[in-house]
Structure 1
């Protein structure tokens, strides 16, 4: 036996983070022929993948940043094939429904402002993005029951949603089916570059993990690890709050970014944004505001019972756009973070591995490098 031969059972790449982003990246690398392990945190960690709204959404994304507009449009177009491939690999239907989505407004000023944003987004995307603006009267004619306070809405037929918990389960199964390893409850406390190359990952209560390459996809857990690998990006939490209602016998006549009906029948009502640090608790005044908005859009919802509610933390970069970065000081270390992990999942599982491997056919992601933050500060 050649004692100097590499152990073919050892992973080529370790992904830190087992949420939608980390598992999507891991799946893509596995399908690209890499050996991959995923170090997933504890159930009590702040997990955006278990508290999000499940949208596959494009309206407004990248209106002021063309690379993000194009990246999002690519993801929306890739979702149908991705959902089918996930079902084939995992046996789980993630309930993708790209039926088109509405943004409802009760303020004429806010409607005009958002329409202006979509016009700019369309300028970036040309015929890859289309939207309609409907008046309140148009909406009430086409969807009886829309409330009198709704002054109008925008609509895009590329928008949709999935069942986010089914998506998470499907990704886990697909990763395992592709030969990946997932270590649950692996609380990573540090990552150190080794003098001879590679990295040593410190895991609480376990022996250190030695790896050749590492992809940091730990969401809000990225903050204490990024500096170890020479990354400057500092992610921050943004709290969103949600209401879940009892199941409806009838289907909701629309999907919006703040009101959606899950495939099981209940409504999910959300859309709030708050800078509250790492506090993910729900607040009564915000919950009341969510309920009032839903009733303003569709007054028939007034008698619907709310069965549970929660707060969850989004993962936000300094400018809100994704970050795809290679470490300048620790070769072999990569950082992937975004707050649209569900929308962007098809790209993370398909074209991102080419970027990690440095292939000539890799997407151009310079616009998402973290150097943009240093340049912005210098300006």
Structure 2
């Protein structure tokens, strides 16, 4: 490839969604990806395309998430056709279980806050009887008080999504350089130069840094201070069992092949990606309180990943004024936001400015430090 229009740093779900979207719009894109030991959120993603409950303190995030969910069916169709890879995407709605009457009231209050005083469109509260009617093949545990149900929620195989995005980019003429960790990023006066392994260099007029937790370190030498932090999430996976859950749930998801994913913890332990017996016990105990029949399913895997979090939990999109053509894109909902990243955010990056709700995700809300 000749000098591309864009270099995207990071071949995970966030970076390659943007690369795919830009390549679709006639731009030439080269994606560079780091080493095998990099922290990769995509490897431990739960696979939810989830709307309900997001944006309690950031209304723009609730709207942005809902917009992405609405785009997902068309995005799925185009990506499957381009890549030849099925995503196992379904949109049957989703459930968030609650385990006490007080928790049910608190859940409703949260959702009404997000909806501006009423439940958001497509969201309803279910008492225990109504919930049990939605789950004819699963007997609820005695502690389950009910759930919230959102029609926009769905799920997807996150590994197939990532593979399809990467393959789709290649089919459109883009390029991915594997095992190409970025050592330095500097301005050239006409764009940017990246130094990689063995002193190799790449140049482009525009660069998007979407490297997850590595993003902060890549741009820090330019005087850009991004307030990102890791949060560990541990998951369990059962053996394949008969169909039990007809829709994804917050903390429980039955995959297309019959396994049940149980998650996830929220642990502030730095960059530790280890797993613990204590967390496995807590996850299993909660799952059994909801669905006692899971007691007969064997746990076959436990693993963890690191979420990429901003201080308010929302996305962080920056285009520093002193570095035209340089963007950073960070979020912890890369699967849910894949559609809107490939469509709306790619369009805004191509136009050179954040517009609409995405302006609320800029560095201004955290006073990100950039050179004077």
TM-score range, shorter chain: over 0.9
Which of 92, 95, 107 pairs up with 2:100? 107
Which of 15, 19, 25 pairs up with 2:18? 25
Aligned to 1:198: 191
Q: SS of 2:129's equivalent? A: helix
The Cα offsets for residues 265-300 of structure 1, whole Å up to 9 and x where unpaired, read as: 111100210101000111111111111111111111
Aligned to 1:11: 4
Q: SS of 2:76's equivalent? A: helix
Aligned to 2:305: 312
Q: SS of 1:240's equivalent? A: strand
Work out whether 1:154 is the aligned partner of 2:174.
Answer: no
Q: SS of 1:87's equivalent? A: helix
Work out whether 1:256 is the aligned partner of 2:249.
Answer: yes
After the TM superposition, which residues 339-350 of structure 1 pair with which residues of structure 2 at under 5 Å, given as runs?
339-350=332-343
Q: Which runs of 5+ in 1 are unaligned?
A: 1-7
Aligned to 2:121: 129
Are 1:96 and 1:162, in contact at CA under 8 Å, matched by a contact in 2?
A: yes
1:41 to partner: Cα distance: 1.3
1:230 to partner: Cα distance: 4.1
Mark the CA change 1:142 to 1:101 in structure 2 (over 3 Å): closer, same or farther.
Answer: closer
For 2:228 and 2:50, locate their aligned partners in 1 and report how far apart those are by CA, in whole Å: 22
Q: TM-score, normalised by structure 2?
A: 0.94
Aligned to 1:265: 258
Q: Which runs of 5+ in 2 are unaligned?
A: none
Aligned to 2:207: 214
Which of 362, 367, 372 pairs up with 1:369? 362
For 1:136 and 1:45, locate their aligned partners in 2 and report how far apart those are by CA, in whole Å: 43
Are 1:150 and 1:297, in contact at CA under 8 Å, matched by a contact in 2?
A: yes
Mark the CA change 1:361 to 1:373 in structure 2 (over 3 Å): closer, same or farther.
Answer: closer
Work out whether 1:300 is the aligned partner of 2:293.
Answer: yes
Q: SS of 2:115's equivalent? A: helix
1:24 to partner: Cα distance: 0.3
Are 1:198 and 1:213, in contact at CA under 8 Å, matched by a contact in 2?
A: yes
Deviates more, 1:164-173 or 1:362-371: 362-371
Work out whether 1:138 is the aligned partner of 2:107.
Answer: no
Are 1:216 and 1:222, in contact at CA under 8 Å, matched by a contact in 2?
A: yes
Aligned to 2:275: 282
Q: SS of 1:205's equivalent? A: helix
Are 1:230 and 1:328, in contact at CA under 8 Å, matched by a contact in 2?
A: no
Q: SS of 1:188's equivalent? A: coil
Are 1:40 and 1:184, in contact at CA under 8 Å, matched by a contact in 2?
A: yes
The Cα offsets for residues 156-188 of structure 1, whole Å up to 9 and x where unpaired, read as: 111010000000110010000011000001111
The Cα offsets for residues 323-367 of structure 1, whole Å up to 9 and x where unpaired, read as: 111012211100111111110111111121221122699655211
Are 1:230 and 1:329, in contact at CA under 8 Å, matched by a contact in 2?
A: no
Number of matched pairs: 367
Are 2:232 and 2:268, in contact at CA under 8 Å, matched by a contact in 1?
A: yes
Aligned to 1:180: 174
Runs of 4+ with deviation above 4 angstroms: 359-364
Work out whether 1:46 is the aligned partner of 2:46.
Answer: no
1:110 to partner: Cα distance: 2.4
Work out whether 1:328 is the aligned partner of 2:321.
Answer: yes
The Cα offsets for residues 246-278 of structure 1, whole Å up to 9 and x where unpaired, read as: 001334244201000111111110021010100
Mark the CA change 1:360 to 1:225 in structure 2 (over 3 Å): closer, same or farther.
Answer: closer
Are 1:229 and 1:330, in contact at CA under 8 Å, matched by a contact in 2?
A: no
Which of 74, 80, 93 pairs up with 2:67? 74
1:141 to partner: Cα distance: 4.7
1:63 to partner: Cα distance: 2.5
Q: SS of 2:305's equivalent? A: strand
Work out whether 1:169 is the aligned partner of 2:145.
Answer: no
Mark the CA change 1:202 to 1:9 in structure 2 (over 3 Å): closer, same or farther.
Answer: closer
Are 2:234 and 2:275, in contact at CA under 8 Å, matched by a contact in 1?
A: yes
